[in-house]
Structure 1
């Protein structure tokens, strides 16, 4: 997801920024940041920032151009989502067709059919999704874990694109749900007891009440 990558590229340094006016490394860092930061490329992903300059080669001049061209090696921090990768993020919006999850600089969509195996209903009043059988509730600001199942990111300066997510797999979903699922696996007897108690309550609730006998006068 987040990666530090070493890149080598030819960078043009304009004559008005030559030494001794400015330090070459500072100029190179500034030029590289203008060229790379906040951009999306197919091979690198979304480039968050240029971390540092590693090496600056000897400058070369081209006929008719007063600038110097340097081979520069530098490190960048990128956001590159990979297919089937597990990711954690915060729910930023809940709509009738699913939830949008903040994953670094981009948002992913988990369709309502991919939230849980339960039947989901949407409450427009408080912008939430609720499981009919399990009672699982999902609202904005919830922390969730999901898997990337579709990646389609634009290129250039736009952050447009698509990240498709699913939470319909074991140990995925809201962090509280995962903790409960782990606890169920570690302590099954506790949940079996609760299940039996709920069953008894349901049976008692379903039994018809006996009619009271009228006293004879």
Structure 2
């Protein structure tokens, strides 16, 4: 889920940017500082998109930059347990499929792809259902549900930390799975099969 949140902070404007419009510089600076940061409560900060209020700057002896109290709008992505996502398969491993959901990635373990037994075909880079021959590969569009969400808070601006957050997904319910599978199931139900 995407959220818009108001945040209060202090932004440092370096002297070489004093001639530029203050709000534009503040947004750029805040994005450089916070974009990609992960907060356990708020989620992954996607971007700072607007400044609501910015105070007159204060100078600190020996620094030369101006410091401004600021209230800004930020967009966060925070997956919720049981939330349903449309996503794209970005990688296949012998234990499951990695799916890009919004700004993060989730994992569909082989046991959660279908009710069928799943084999990994390394040559094709696909997961194949034994009885139904359904295949799942890189680039496939899927609908999945978050089984649980474990977000790891970070103290640095490392993009790797949010990749350590775990979002296990399932496609083993009605109206979930590869888009083609969902459409096939709808057609069968219309025909009464």
Aligned to 1:168: 172
Provide the C-alpha distance between the structure 2 equivalents of 1:125 and 1:165, rounded to a whole number of angstroms: 25
Greater RCO structure (CA 8 Å; 6+ sep): 2
What pairs up with 1:1-217 in 2 under 5 angstroms? 1-14=1-14, 16=15, 19=18, 21-60=19-58, 67-154=65-152, 155=154, 156-158=156-158, 159-161=162-164, 162-188=166-192, 191=193
CA distance in 2, matches of 1:124, 1:105: 27
Asked whether the equivalents of residues 88 and 103 of structure 1 are also in contact (C-alpha less than 8 Å), the reply is yes
Question: In structure 1, how many angstroms separate the alpha carbons of the residues matched to 2:27 and 2:148?
Answer: 34
Query: How far did residue 18 of structure 1 move?
Result: 7.2
Aligned equivalents of 1:112, 1:91: Cα separation in 2: 13
Q: How far is 1:67 from its partner?
A: 4.7
In 2: Cα distance, 1:96 partner to 1:47 partner: 31
SS class of match (2:85): strand
CA drift at 1:114: 0.6
State which structure, 1 or 2, has the greater radius of gyration over its C-alpha atoms: 1
Q: By how many angstroms is 1:183 displaced?
A: 2.1
TM-score normalised according to structure 1 size? 0.76
How many residues end up aligned between the 2 structures?
187
Deviations 1:68-111 (A, max 9, x none): 43221222222211111100111111221111111233221110
The CA RMSD over aligned residues, in Å, is 2.2
Secondary structure of 1:27 counterpart: helix
Which 5+ residue runs of structure 1 have no aligned equivalent?
Answer: 192-217
Tell me the SS of whatever aligns to 1:74: strand
